[in-house]
Amino acid sequence: MLSKTLEKALNAQINYELTASYEYLAMATYFETKSLKGMAGWMHMQASEERAHARRLYEHVLDCGGNIVLDAIAKPNQKFTGVVDVFKKALKLEQGNTANIHKLFEQSVKGKHYPTQSVLQWFIDEQVEEEATINEILDLLSLAGDKGAALLALDAKLGGRGAAPAGSGE
């Protein structure tokens, strides 16, 4: 059985994942308006992944006999100064999420809720991968620049992301 404290924290994490999905949709929209279809597609995939993460936690709460309490989703940022800025904001979003997941894990350890620890272990590993991927994109942007042929090459590379992303949970 979930404690009320852990149930509340898991519901807050569901909200964070859905908020992240909305933030990624805003980033996808920015790229759509710039006709950078590869990057837009990459961000749409991120948005789908975040929704899948929320669903994973949602199922966990229900499986553990907890209640789902849905909260409002905050308005996403839609102001970006360029391609690098978008990926920097994506990295910040993931770093915030990593901190949340770690805090949630600590709460599940304190509360001795082993099923939640098991589910969160997957999220801990996923966050390492998510941050590494965005750092790699930022490295490429810093090496090659964010204009002209280099930008178009990176757009094509990111557009090659498969239909079933790693860690989508689907």
Residues forming contacts to ligand FEO in the complex (CB under 6 A) are 17, 20, 50, 53, 94, 97, 130
Give the nearer residue to ligand FEO in terms of CB position, either 56 or 151. 56
Handedness of CA 24, 88, 82, 161 (dihedral sign): negative
- Least Å distance, CB 101 to ligand FEO, is 8
- Least Å distance, CB 41 to ligand FEO, is 16
Give the nearer residue to ligand FEO in terms of CB position, either 105 or 150. 105
- Least Å distance, CB 20 to ligand FEO, is 6
Q: Compute the distance between CA of residue 23 and CA of residue 25 in angstroms, rounded to an integer.
A: 5
- Least Å distance, CB 72 to ligand FEO, is 19
Which of these, 36, 1, 65, lies nearest to 151 by C-alpha position? 36
Give the nearer residue to ligand FEO in terms of CB position, either 62 or 128. 128
Cβ burial 90-103 (10 Å sphere, 16+ → b, else e): bbebbeebbebbee
